[in-house]
Chain A
């Protein structure tokens, strides 16, 4: 005959209450933390996956920071070169005026004076510094002023040929600055040789000051404008690349965050209904315990 001992009956009742309390407390912890995985044992593969997703998310967020930084630098470069693009037509206009037969030597002298001013402006632009105080057209040597004018008509570039890239995705780097040599020094001329923009403008100045304007500079100026536009196009392409990548990264982050949430976050509705169910089960266990323990033959003796 099957029988049960009194101690066992109590123990069963106590155990079933303890077990239900444990479940209830775990569900409560899940609900209060909002996490399905409280520690890796709850879902070992899921926990490792969540860890790697968090790593990827943090990395891509860093790429977004890098992209912001690169974009702000390219924006500054673009703004600077846009001013150069505004100045060059004025140089051209003055040159054409200077070529005009109606202008006297004194007029040409005045034009030359304005051109000197403009050349200084161009050089100031080439020596632009960013918010960190770095010269943006100095290559890797960004702490040293890159362009100097030690003597009349002498223009030197003291930066280096460094071009710098930042990482904006696991597979993509984008150049965040041009070196001054490529932008201002290595400019095509009508003769097929290369010369600096400052030398070209200075050539115009000296020809005007000598009252012998040289029309070939017009072609040099055009080539300089073409050169500047091509540098701006490179920067613009870089900005486009960044903006594109930032969007891709944002989409990626959203996907990863959704996946992470699916992996480790709790389904609240499910958890709350589970909590209710477990609460009812605990109450039932308590009630049955109470009822069973009051049943005893000794009550009738």
Chain B
């Protein structure tokens, strides 16, 4: 060895070091780039009689600065951040919608009930009747608008899922390709390839949570969900979206293996796609169900009360709103069949249900709280639903999805177009007996209130019911009313407590007038013997507002969720749930973003390029390079000296 070769070794090594530093500087802004560092080591020395003489330097390795542990932490943080981000993006759209002053449901519901109060104020005025129909129409429009928003959101969600699946497939294929290159060229030189692959895995983590296992040959095996392989060495599996067997608008995600597709919707977590799926199950569907419940409740309650009154023509009120039916989705391969109808809308929970035949029993699962119960073949009444099971041909695995309120906001329609059809009046009237000219016949001071009815059974009355005071018997004989023993009501005209007013039917015989519209009334005062009250059909009640008042009062009635909530309560709960979930996502997102930023900084601490550092290295290596050139120059001088010494 010679000084020349030592100088050359140093020139080569520092040239490499300068190249690497230049490469680092060039990639200062490249995503996923890991800085590289040159390791210098002294070359093997040569033994001489005087001992070892050094042989210069070599750039023994170009090291990639990378920390596998932090990298996997960063991928986890990335997957969670993207999940929260996509969840939050969708949820905040709903959040904006539900409490909007102009577009929210609450003002529409409120305006509708205020219009009913106006109707009660002025039942004979066409203008106040028109107002009710106008507000009812805009309430129905608002429900449709909400339904449309939900469906739009679902379409966007489906598009986004499809897009994500395509991207996942592309990334998986790209990773498999890089795997192949790395296995072929594994070693120090693959640093930039490794960076490329890690960057692809990071991008994949933005879409879905992945687990990475590095193989001994350097390939990455990548798994999603609960260990479903996505990339194995050079092979990438393909994800696909499948329309659900039960619901054509519900997308499922499958991995297509050689033996066929495997459904992984339930297993997939994290990333954008995980956020979308979580939003769909946790926010979109429950919100849609709640809004549907409000629509059903309003339609059902208003219809029922309208049917207890009579309209401007004296005709029994008809349904104001059309309500849809229970959405029942059978698996096409089912052997058995079911029908589901509403039994009592006030008992509905707003949950979806799945009914599965396990070969022995039909098991109903509440998809909201996960509770299950076994149903009998035939009619079952569960949570306000009548579920009738026809087990003929049942095969284990038969499967039905039951969504009682999902489509209700879409199905509600206003049925009444004629303002005269609003049943503002009650069907019965009570009056003290008069002669043909309206002159009083009763001598006593007793009075009767206008009767209320709880049904239309036996109405209109075939003949006026007469209550004739029978002083000797201590009560009223009932003529044309219920038969014995119900043809008498006791009334003690000497008892001050009774004179102050007695409500009929008495609590001891609550069914006394069930065959006569379930009517009820109050008598007070002191009647004279023979004094008569007449209860007859209300034939002239244009200005009667009794039923309008009852319609308006439904606003404050706790008619939903088993008598625990008003329409507005259910809506308010829904708003606060959407708000809370959005709020929670926003908070978590902020926390997760800072965690991600910390792991990214941790990553950069190891792998990131620092220009000042590289500048310093540039100077360091440049000076070493210059010094090495001097070695060659000295070698040349030495050589010249020697040559001139021997030249004679």
Interface residues of A (CB under 8 A from B): 2-8, 12, 15, 39-45, 47-48, 51-52, 54-55, 58-59, 62-63, 65-66, 69-70, 132, 134, 138-144, 154-167, 170, 173, 181, 185-186, 192-196, 199, 296-298, 301
Contact = CB atoms under 8 A, between A and B. Distances in A.
Contact of B610 (A4, A138, A196): A4
7 contacts: A7-B609, A41-B583, A58-B107, A158-B438, A185-B434, A194-B442, A297-B616
B579 A48 contact: yes
B442 A6 contact: no
B600 to A, nearest CB: 7
A48 B572 contact: yes
Contacts of A170: 556
B449 to A, nearest CB: 8
B582 A157 contact: no
B95 A40 contact: yes
Given A40-B578, A59-B113, A195-B440, A140 B28 contact: no
A173 to B, nearest CB: 7
Contacts of B577: 44
Nearest to A37: B99
B430 A5 contact: no
Interface string B392-404: 0000000000000
B610 A6 contact: yes
A47 B576 CA distance: 7
Interface in B523-554: 538, 540-545, 549, 552-553
A259 B146 CA distance: 29
A157 B437 contact: yes
Interface stretch (B118-126, B193-201, B231-239, B343-351): B118-126
- Main secondary structure, interface of B, reads helix
B553 to A, nearest CB: 8
B113 to A, nearest CB: 7
B121 A51 contact: no
Contacts of B96: 39
Contacts of B618: 301
Contacts of A39: 92, 95-96, 99, 579, 582
Contacts of B604: 4-5, 7-8
Nearest to B100: A39
Contact of B575 (A48, A173, A296): A48
A162 B610 contact: no
A44 B436 CA distance: 64
A160 B431 contact: yes
Interface string B415-443: 00000000001000111101011111011
Contact of A162 (B109, B429, B569): B429
Given A43-B579, A52-B572, 15 more contacts: A3-B613, A4-B608, A6-B611, A12-B601, A40-B99, A44-B575, A48-B573, A48-B576, A51-B571, A51-B572, A65-B118, A159-B438, A160-B429, A196-B440, A297-B616
A70 B118 CA distance: 12
Contacts of B582: 39-41, 44
Given A185-B438, A297-B615, A140 B583 contact: no
Given A44-B579, A51-B99, A134 B543 contact: yes
Contacts of A141: 540-543
B450 interface: yes
Task: From B113, B543, B583, B586, name the one whose CB has the most chain A CB atoms within 10 angstroms.
Answer: B543
- Main secondary structure, interface of A, reads mixed
B106 interface: yes
B29 interface: yes
Given A2-B605, A39-B92, A39-B95, A156 B579 contact: no
Interface in B277-320: none
Task: From A43, A297, A298, name the one whose CB has the most chain B CB atoms within 10 angstroms.
Answer: A297
Task: From A47, A132, A142, A158, name the one whose CB has the most chain B CB atoms within 10 angstroms.
Answer: A47
Given A48-B575, A142-B543, A41 B586 contact: yes
Given A4-B610, A47-B576, A199 B439 contact: yes
B583 A156 contact: no
Nearest to A165: B549
Interface in B573-620: 573, 575-580, 582-583, 586, 597, 600-601, 604-605, 607-613, 615-616, 618-619
A14 B73 CA distance: 23
Contacts of A158: 438
Contact of A185 (B99, B439, B607): B439
Task: From B99, B114, B556, B569, name the one whose CB has the most chain A CB atoms within 10 angstroms.
Answer: B99
A69 B121 contact: yes
A39 B122 CA distance: 38
Task: From A40, A141, A173, A196, name the one whose CB has the most chain B CB atoms within 10 angstroms.
Answer: A40
Contact of A7 (B442, B542, B608): B608
B555 interface: yes
Contact of A186 (B437, B440, B619): B440
B615 to A, nearest CB: 4
Interface in B143-177: none
B538 to A, nearest CB: 7
A144 B543 CA distance: 11
Sorted nearest first, the 8 A-B pairs with minimum C-beta distance are A5-B608, A40-B579, A157-B438, A44-B579, A48-B576, A41-B582, A142-B543, A141-B540
B450 A163 contact: yes
B98 interface: yes
A193 B578 contact: no
A154 B438 CA distance: 11
A301 B28 contact: no
B410 interface: no
Given A3-B610, A5-B608, A7-B28, A40 B575 contact: yes
A8 B601 contact: yes
A41 B203 CA distance: 29
Nearest to A9: B610
B541 A296 contact: no
A4 B538 CA distance: 88
A140 B541 contact: yes
Contacts of A2: 605
A263 to B, nearest CB: 12
A12 B604 CA distance: 12
Given A8-B601, A41-B95, A296 B121 contact: no
A40 B611 contact: no
A47 B579 contact: yes
B568 interface: yes
B575 A161 contact: no
Interface string B115-133: 0011011101100000000
Contacts of B2: none
